[in-house]
Amino acid sequence: MQALASDHQAGWYVFDVSTRGVVSFGSAPARPRAAAPPSHCTCRIGLWPSRLIPSGAMSPVDRYYVTTAIAYANNKPGLHTLYEVIGADVIARWHRMKGDETRFLTGTDEHSVNIAQKAAELGESTRAFVDEKVALFRAAEAALLISPDRFIRTSDPDHIRSAQEMVRRAYANGDIYLGKYEGWYCPAEGFKAGSDVIETPEGTRCPNHPTVALEWLSEQNWFFRLSAYQERLEKHFAEHPDFAQPDYRRNEMLGFIRGGLEDFSVSRSGATWGIPFPIMPDGSSSQRADGTWDPAAGTIYVWYDALINYVTGAGFPDDQAAFAKWWPADLHIVGKDIARFHTIYWPAMLWSAGMDAPRHVWIHGFLLAQGERMSKSLGNFLDPLDVVATLGADGARYVTLREVAFDRDTDVSWDSFTRRYNADLANDFGNLLNRSISMANRYFGGVRPSVGPDAGLASAWTETLAGYQDRLERCLLSDALCTLWEFVGAANRLVEAEQPWTLAKAMKAGDAGAETRLKAVLGDLVEACRLIALAAAPFIPAAASRAFAQLGYEYPYGADGNGGPALLDELHWGAHAGEAGQLATPEPLFPRLEAESTTPAEG
């Protein structure tokens, strides 16, 4: 028997290492215990299986935990990198405004070989290099009004403890063993199976990083027994059909599982930049008496580092009360290129540690430029600071999520962004707000008119809200905005149908019926503007607040969406009917862009 010391407060683990020997990859010793952990390790799904963002309580208290993938801190971020972060921020704001206690996690992945290599090429320490890149990410996210409850870094001390503890638990459960890896390695991503590489005129390449030369490695590593979890994963997918979405992505993952799962490496030999692997080849702790780590143990490799951030962000291993509250995560939002790791590797790793799988994983596509994936290495990407400088933070958020489908690849261009901004924001909603307030100011001295008898907008709103909520809560963010903007169109059509200026002339001539009708029409238009601004607030938070000020309402939510009344109550038609108010002078929410503008301004 060999005792392994743990620096985590849980204490010591003791286990038999007599069967642990160096073996070839693919011929691991038999697993000493059953693959399935205790029955309490279950993945709970929300109350509405058709929704990935359930509308009711997620647990004994109303709480919601949403995460994004963490990005490599090796360069400044492109808009294609932050696209999922903007989407997650919208979802987090929606939950905060509904009244759910919400936790939103995003951050950076800092332990890769190419990061250390780039730092060395620049003559910088690796830590200084990643600090510079992280600052660029945080600045871009701040410019886009991203409001995470925590921005996690894989170099954070609590994350280091978390990753090491997860390794110890998997080892204690018999799921980590020594083996030999021989195959391709992508410095920008990690070990690559033969089926995951492509042949190009420049040589063998990783499809996600075609400009990066692959390395052929042969080294002794620790491996995780993913193959032991094949049956349980198939069962989990069958019992929880909304675990991985959209459906066609779920089917892709099921196909991969059914093709047979191979164990994967969880360590690197010889790397100095990374989290120290906590176990020596003989099963003893790699932590020395002075608290340092023996470099001979190597470092934790990629997925047993990066994926662990989600449990670290929930409080593991230091704050067990917080972890019990926040885990499992309600929603992981990730790109299609890392779907396999989040829907197959990650649940197995959690089960090995005695934890629940996340409730849902949403898999989005890529932003494309003329059919080619946007990429910093290819130089065909949009700088988020430049986009914000041209469109504003709200405009950038709206256009990105309206133009780019959240469930598949989408080809975009600066021209399509400009046209969308002008059509939806400057013309449709911006013009509706401006002329509604202008007419009410002109005809009734700025007194805010109240809603009147249903002119058609009230019933239209009820239908719109139901569709908007349904699509947003199924992560179809572009579709949700499309639904809401159909109501913007209905409100604009009401202006043309009722012609308030004609009613005003009749009112001035003494027609009491025209006056009553004019007040009702303008009351409906002002109410429509209130509801549109409030419903769209998760997408355009700053503009929503400014719209409320022009409508003579106090915006009740904080800068991150916290602190106000329950959103769904506020979205009732006429929720504030009869309340006195004074309209402000209208100002353009979204100034129109020149049509010939073909490139974003430099931020």
pLDDT in tens, 555-569: 999 999 999 999 999
Which pLDDT score is estimated for 305?
A: 97
Q: In sequence order, what are the beta bridge partners of 105?
A: 67, 150
**Three-class DSSP category at 26:** coil
CATH fold of 61-381: Rossmann fold (3.40.50)
Which pLDDT score is estimated for 180?
A: 84
- Pairing state between β 331-335 and 63-68: parallel
- The position carrying tokens 């509604």 is 436
Which pLDDT score is estimated for 362?
A: 98
Question: Where exactly are the structural domains of the chain?
Answer: 61-381, 426-570
**Three-class DSSP category at 116:** helix
DSSP for residue 517:
H
DSSP for residue 573:
T
This prediction's pTM: 0.87
Cβ atoms of 555 and 548 closer than 8 Å: yes
Q: In sequence order, what are the beta bridge partners of 582?
A: 447
Cβ atoms of 230 and 260 closer than 8 Å: yes
**Alpha-carbon gap, residue 265 to 270, rounded angstroms:** 14
Residue 556 token pair: 């009740």
Which pLDDT score is estimated for 370?
A: 79
C-alpha separations of 521 from 131, 453, 551, 576 in Å: 55, 9, 15, 16
Among candidates 501, 493, 498, which has minimal Cα distance to 521?
498
**Alpha-carbon gap, residue 307 to 162, rounded angstroms:** 11
CATH fold of 426-570: Isoleucyl-tRNA Synthetase; Domain 1 (1.10.730)
User: H or E segment at 150?
Assistant: strand 150-153
Cβ atoms of 412 and 116 closer than 8 Å: no
Residue ranges in the chain modelled with pLDDT below 70: 1-61, 188-192, 194, 209, 376-380, 455, 595-599, 601-603
Contacts of 349 (CB under 8 A, 6+ apart): 166, 170, 224, 303, 304, 307
Contacts of 425 (CB under 8 A, 6+ apart): 394, 395, 398, 399, 589, 590
Which pLDDT score is estimated for 16?
A: 32
Indicate the burial class of 94 (C-beta count within 10 angstroms; 0-12, 13-18, 19 or more): buried
Which pLDDT score is estimated for 375?
A: 74
Q: In sequence order, what are the beta bridge partners of 333?
A: 68, 362
**Alpha-carbon gap, residue 179 to 181, rounded angstroms:** 7
Among candidates 499, 473, 495, which has minimal Cα distance to 429?
495
Which pLDDT score is estimated for 15?
A: 31
